[in-house]
Amino acid sequence: MIYQEVHRLKNMGFSNSKIARKLQISRNRVIDYLSMTPDEFADFIASLQNRTKKLDPYQSDILMWLRAHPDVTSAQIYDWLQDKFDIQSVSENTVRNYVNHLREHYHIPKVTLGRIYGAVDELPPGQQIQVDFGEIIVNTSSGGRQKLYVAGFILSHSRFKYVEWLDRPFRTSDLIRIQENAFHYFGGMTAEIVYDQDRLLAVSENADDLILTESFTKYHKFRRFKVELCRKSDPESKGKIEQVIKYVKNNFAKHRIYDNLNTWQQDALKWLKRTGNYKVHHNIKKRPFEVHALEKQHLQTVSGNYHFENISSTNITRTIHKDNVIRFEGNRYSVPLGTFQSDKENIAYISVADGKLSISLHPAGAPLPHIQCLKTKGR
């Protein structure tokens, strides 16, 4: 069918490049098909059917993946083959060609996704880590659905990555703990760290006056790195990490079945070693783990262990909704009328001590009066 469509579009005056884009095939394949007569194409298809391929023993598994997930990429199938069957002797290009053949032969159209590009200048080794967060809903082994949250870290020079997952929204204490884990994974820390989601670590940023939360202030004084905050979805300042979050969600997490958090995190670390930090990066044209071996020499030594008892209990933030309600751990809490203001950020700070919950509008502010629980989890 594609062979006939290629010739039909060519007769209508389409260029080879436009035919390739329209049919979602390579330009080289268009050229090959145009050079074949119908009899030559029939012989070509017959040779493909009779030729033994390295991936033929895994054809049923690949077809099952393609039919269950039409948007799956050949890169993700390549990773799954390595993960499930420990295949090492087949190149990614071979997998890509085989997947394209199966899609065409079994009429499984490819679903394409847009791509985010980050226009960020290259930085010297040891200068910067970028941090961002993401979330995804996945299927569970029990037949349900689970929302997961991921924190991603990347060394800007080597593109060496670290990720950690939670089954609930991140808190400031989580960010600090996971960042310490990232330092250990990287073998050191950089001079500066770029963050998004600044509600976890900053109260406000006005005219370059950065006011950190109480918990993060204590941590920042202990580690003494430079903090850089950037705007939401800003590829000019943190395009590298936005690509990492998209990569880990689409290549690792998408279509993966969730059983428990520990297994999921261990599988993520295996994925980093096998794929995330091993495959050649499209920008630097090198494997991140190889460049990291050199950048590691420029990282600052992480001395001492941070005492997490220094973390304040006032480090949980929630959005104040228009109906003056805050949602926390499955419950809905009403706050005084007028707390929500359309021209404000509408962020509340939650503190839990001795089983008692209090809500304030500032990290060190007085608790709001007349808080009422409107809905109890499980009821």
- Is residue 253 in some structural domain? yes
Specify whether 261 is located in the same domain as 154. Answer: yes
In degrees, rounded to 5, the angle at the alpha carbon of residue 111 between the alpha carbons of residues 105 and 116 is 140
Q: How far is CA 178 from CA 27, 190, 262, 295, in A?
A: 45, 15, 14, 21
Task: Kindly tell me if the per-residue pLDDT of 240 is higher than 80.
Answer: no
- Is residue 348 in some structural domain? yes
Helices 74-85/59-68 angle, 10° precision: 130
Specify whether 48 is located in the same domain as 157. Answer: no
Regarding predicted confidence, which is higher, 191 or 371? 191
Specify whether 302 is located in the same domain as 331. Answer: no
Instruction: Tell me the DSSP string of 334-364.
Output: E--TT---TTS--EEEEEEETTEEEEESSTT
In degrees, rounded to 5, the angle at the alpha carbon of residue 203 between the alpha carbons of residues 201 and 205 is 100
pLDDT at 51: 64
Specify whether 152 is located in the same domain as 213. Answer: yes
Average pLDDT over residues 240-250: 84
Domain count, the chain: 3
Band (170; pLDDT cuts 50, 70, 90): confident
Regarding predicted confidence, which is higher, 137 or 199? 137
CA distance 268 to 274: 10
Q: How do residues 151-166 score in pLDDT, each as one tens digit?
A: 999 999 999 999 999 9
Specify whether 368 is located in the same domain as 258. Answer: no
In degrees, rounded to 5, the angle at the alpha carbon of residue 223 between the alpha carbons of residues 219 and 227 is 80
- Is residue 248 in some structural domain? yes
Specify whether 236 is located in the same domain as 136. Answer: yes
Residue at which a domain ends, from 309, 325, 350: 309
| Number of Cβ within a 10 Å radius of residue 293 | 13
**Both tokens assigned to 16:** 């080879």
Band (118; pLDDT cuts 50, 70, 90): very low
Specify whether 285 is located in the same domain as 333. Answer: no
- Is residue 197 in some structural domain? yes
pLDDT at 366: 80
Task: Kindly tell me if the per-residue pLDDT of 119 is higher than 50.
Answer: no
- Is residue 330 in some structural domain? yes
Specify whether 271 is located in the same domain as 151. Answer: yes
- Is residue 113 in some structural domain? no
pLDDT at 115: 45
Tell me the residue range of the domain where 317 lies: 313-375
Whether 102 and 66 have beta carbons less than 8 Å apart is answered as yes
| Cβ-based neighbours of 203, under 8 Å, separated by 6 or more | 211, 212, 213, 362, 363
Specify whether 280 is located in the same domain as 135. Answer: yes
- Is residue 241 in some structural domain? yes
The CATH number linked to 203 is 3.30.420.10
Specify whether 16 is located in the same domain as 28. Answer: yes
Average pLDDT over residues 285-298: 95
Residue at which a domain ends, from 270, 285, 309: 309
- Is residue 369 in some structural domain? yes
Average pLDDT over residues 35-53: 77
User: Hunting for tokens 């590009």 — which residue is that?
Assistant: 117
Specify whether 170 is located in the same domain as 280. Answer: yes
Arithmetic mean of pLDDT over the chain: 83
Least confident range of 112-116, 248-252, 258-262, 330-334 = 112-116
Specify whether 232 is located in the same domain as 167. Answer: yes
